[in-house]
Amino acid sequence: MTAVEEETFVTDTPTALAEPGEQDPTAAAPGAGAMIVFESVSKTYDPHVVALEAASFVIEKGEFVFLVGPSGSGKSTMIRLLLKELEPTTGRIIIGGRDLGRLPHRKVPQLRRNIGCVFQDFKLLSDRTTSENVAYALKVQGESRNSIRRKVPEVLGLVGLTHKGNSYPDELSGGEQQRVSIARAFVNHPPLLVCDEPTGNLDPDTSVGIMQLLYRINRSGTTILMATHDREMVDKMRRRVIALEDGRIARDERRGGYASE
């Protein structure tokens, strides 16, 4: 993935798409646009299971957003909609200025290369070493061997696993495995990182390390959307919180806590 390709994908969103009231002062600069726009998006699984109902919000470039809510409230559905694994029943989703509803099927891989994904269960390949797991993301995208050799140690350094490059996933602790999966998600420097309960399987101390890593990544300009159950973390970080309840957006606070105050 070259910087040029990234830029062609993440074009600037026309400001008309973002509701003026929602805009962050830092993101209002000319040329800056929304990273994610949900326009009254609903998703109904057949026949009557409503996973998401009329969800509307705008996430600006460079924001760090927590997505909270009990299990079954629609968090995972939202993430799968972002990756175009699912199609919304109604409504419009725009990512980096692209309307996903109009994105042809063959362009979906291109979309996913611009969205780093981190999951609760890491999704590492157990028969490959740390380096190979990270390199895999690049290989899949047809990156040259030279650039793989350059980028992999770089990103392993960022997540603090330089010395574990030749270890297999089952030789790593849970926190280390999650760092590998973050390294894989971030090796291309995607403009958007989506995390689905990245600390769900980790003890509190390890979670703090992961959150610090994600925070560092966010400060480098990457937008982060993180679904989580980690009440303590959300309360400590004081970032924007979008709370879902039964598929509806119950709360959207700029510097919120896990529960409404």
Partner 1 sequence: MLSEAVRSIGANLSTTVAATMTVLIGMFLLGLVIAFATYARSWSDDVKAGLVVKVFHDRDATPQQVNAVRVLLERDPRVDKERIEFISAEEGLRQMRRQRPDIFSNDLPYNPLGPAWTVYPTQAEDVEEIAAAVGTGTKASPYPAGVHNVTYGKEKAKRILRVANIINAIFGIAVLVLLSAAAILIANTIRLSIFARRREIEVMKLVGATNWFVRGPFMLEGLICGLVGSLLAVILLFVSKEAALPSLLPRLTSDPDVQALGFWLISLILLGLGLLLGAAGSGLTLRRFLRV
In the complex with partner 1, the residue whose CB is nearer, 124 or 161, is: 124
In the complex with partner 1, the residue whose CB is nearer, 50 or 83, is: 83
In the complex with partner 1, the residue whose CB is nearer, 123 or 216, is: 123
Least Å distance, CB 245 to partner 1, is 28
Residue owning tokens 């806590």: 257
In the complex with partner 1, the residue whose CB is nearer, 27 or 158, is: 158
In the complex with partner 1, the residue whose CB is nearer, 18 or 124, is: 124
Least Å distance, CB 82 to partner 1, is 12
Tell me how far apart the alpha carbons of residues 126 and 145 are, in angstroms, rounded to a whole number: 22
If 0-12 CB within 10 Å is exposed, 13-18 middle and 19+ buried, where does residue 220 land? exposed
Least Å distance, CB 194 to partner 1, is 10
Least Å distance, CB 150 to partner 1, is 18
- The residues binding partner 1 (CB under 8 A) are 83, 106, 109-114, 117, 123-125, 127, 136-137, 139-142, 184
Least Å distance, CB 126 to partner 1, is 8
